[in-house]
Structure 1
Amino acid sequence: MNIRFKNRQEAGMLLARQLMRYAGRPDVIVLALPRGGVPVGFQVAAALNAPIDVVLVRKIGMPGYPEYAIGAISSDQSVFQDEAIEAYGVPPRAIEPIVMRERKELERRESLYRAGRPPLQLGGKVVILVDDGLATGSTMRVALKSVRKKKPARVVVAAPVAAAEARQELTGEADEVICISTPSPFYGVGQWYEDFEQTEDDEVIRLLQEAERNHPLAAWMTLPAPHSD
């Protein structure tokens, strides 16, 4: 099924319909991949009455062709498309400065988006990872690896649109993958949105602040679970 979404807001509302079995559960947390995944995740979290947080990841683009992902990093994980790197003969020395630059951007976003707030505690929770689309799946894979380290009970990957290959790969790594559309040929995520303007930092911050006001219980979820003696 091929669907073209009006914008990320509409895509998020439609995606939420596929996730309603998780609505109203106190153990559900939505994690969005900035920046484009945040407007989608905001709609999902609102529909499920769940708190939302961000999982900070950055794509590593091909040297000279930054839109083509050859990997992705988080603060504690990395994923690289070794076959693509080898096929195009990309030397490590060409990748290293890109990784360093993207790590600095991760640090900038961490400071800006969180503003001193600790991340939500994921241990024992059902985590729904949301992005606006999955092309190679690199950023979602590294987000998944990072989240797994926090010992959640279940990880659900959710995106409005995905390349069939990316969806298949993630199905083997997540507990569940929810996609509305897996068009073929895929081309790119933006092809399946009428409005695919870049999401800016101000919009991310505004949505996170609004979500926090709407779901004040999220503040308690930053605290570790008490230990019984």
Structure 2
Amino acid sequence: MPTAFRDRTEAGRLLAEKLTTFSGRPDVLVLALPRGGVPVAYEVARALDAPLDVFVVRKLGVPGHEELAMGAIASGGVCVLNDDVVQALRIPDRLIEAVAARELRELERRERVYRNGRPMPGVRGRTVILVDDGLATGSTMRAAVAALRRLGPARIVVAVPTAAPSTCEELRHEADECVCEITPDPFYAVGLWYEDFSQTTDDEVRDHLERSAATVAAATATAEEPVQ
């Protein structure tokens, strides 16, 4: 089976070509789902001349059945519960709180490592492009969209290089727009569509964020230079 992308960098560059309508707009913010979404989002943000940050999402798994999500927590202090699961399994509040507290510690650890003390950028009233390296079931991205919606962005655009056709279609109903570079059928798994799908490290995430921030800062300084 042929692969579609050499690596996440190439995937991000190709994905950016489908997002040119957002280029140069001051209201646009690119948020990556770490870790694999960060190299993709870096290329998107660079092409669109937009700031880049991460949106960390942690699934709240049902104890003993962790693959089943009873909710999720995300950057910005947002908690979203899957009421159907909670009610069907009669999960008590104390159990939800215990799982959320554990996942919050990991979320905060990741944000400290990735942002190095920088606060999360404001999203209210902005157009936010949520980027990952691909969507299989899309559960994490759906949680991210639901959590981000509570922070008041004007528009949420989900953008990924590859996705299962049904997942891409479902997210079009949950986000304001969903852009998928390719939707192979049968899909099987995200990693099949990359020649290099090696794990992205915390150091790589931090490096991409720092480079993007430096680029934005340099562009802002240039724009503010007085005309001679």
TM-score by length of 2: 0.81
The aligned residue for residue 224 of structure 1 is none
The aligned residue for residue 175 of structure 2 is 174
Does the Cα contact within 8 Å between 1:51 and 1:218 map onto a contact in 2? no
Deviation larger for 71-80 or 24-33? 71-80
Q: Distance in 2 between matches of 1:81 and 1:187?
A: 29
1:103 and 2:107 are equivalent in the alignment: no
The aligned residue for residue 133 of structure 2 is 132
**Aligned ranges for residues 188-199 of structure 1 at < 5 Å?**
188-199=189-200
The aligned residue for residue 151 of structure 1 is 152
Q: Deviations over 1:29-83 (max 9, x none)?
A: 10101100000000000000000111111245687887x5646432422355968
Q: Distance in 1 between matches of 2:91 and 2:64?
A: 14
Q: Deviations over 1:10-42 (max 9, x none)?
A: 100000000011111111110101100000000
Larger Rg: 2
Does the Cα contact within 8 Å between 2:124 and 2:151 map onto a contact in 1? yes
The letter of the residue matching 2:46 is A
The letter of the residue matching 2:158 is V
The aligned residue for residue 27 of structure 1 is 27
The aligned residue for residue 39 of structure 1 is 39
- 1:142 is displaced (CA, Å) by 1.5
Q: Kindly tell me: are residues 164 and 59 of structure 1, through their superposed partners in 2, closer, same or farther at Cα, counting changes over 3 Å?
A: farther
Q: Distance in 2 between matches of 1:124 and 1:115?
A: 25
Q: Kindly tell me: are residues 121 and 196 of structure 1, through their superposed partners in 2, closer, same or farther at Cα, counting changes over 3 Å?
A: same
Q: Distance in 2 between matches of 1:127 and 1:217?
A: 22
5+ residue gaps, structure 1: 220-229
Give the secondary-structure state (helix, strand or coil) at the position aligned to 2:78: coil
The letter of the residue matching 2:58 is R
Question: Matched residue pairs, number?
Answer: 213
The aligned residue for residue 224 of structure 2 is none
Q: Kindly tell me: are residues 106 and 181 of structure 1, through their superposed partners in 2, closer, same or farther at Cα, counting changes over 3 Å?
A: same
The letter of the residue matching 2:78 is D
The letter of the residue matching 1:56 is V
Does the Cα contact within 8 Å between 1:134 and 1:161 map onto a contact in 2? yes
Q: Kindly tell me: are residues 72 and 5 of structure 1, through their superposed partners in 2, closer, same or farther at Cα, counting changes over 3 Å?
A: farther
TM-score by length of 1: 0.81
Q: Kindly tell me: are residues 3 and 194 of structure 1, through their superposed partners in 2, closer, same or farther at Cα, counting changes over 3 Å?
A: closer
5+ residue gaps, structure 2: 221-228
- 1:206 is displaced (CA, Å) by 0.5
Q: Distance in 2 between matches of 1:13 and 1:79?
A: 35
Q: Distance in 2 between matches of 1:188 and 1:121?
A: 33
The letter of the residue matching 2:79 is Q
- 1:99 is displaced (CA, Å) by 5.3
RMSD (Å) for aligned C-alpha atoms = 2.8
Q: Distance in 2 between matches of 1:164 and 1:61?
A: 26
The aligned residue for residue 13 of structure 1 is 13
Does the Cα contact within 8 Å between 2:3 and 2:192 map onto a contact in 1? no
Q: Deviations over 1:190-214 (max 9, x none)?
A: 1111111111100000110000000
Determine what percentage of the aligned residue pairs are the same residue: 52
The aligned residue for residue 225 of structure 1 is none
Give the secondary-structure state (helix, strand or coil) at the position aligned to 1:145: helix
Q: Kindly tell me: are residues 190 and 102 of structure 1, through their superposed partners in 2, closer, same or farther at Cα, counting changes over 3 Å?
A: farther
Q: Deviations over 1:71-114 (max 9, x none)?
A: 6432422355968xx8xxx8959x96765543321111011112
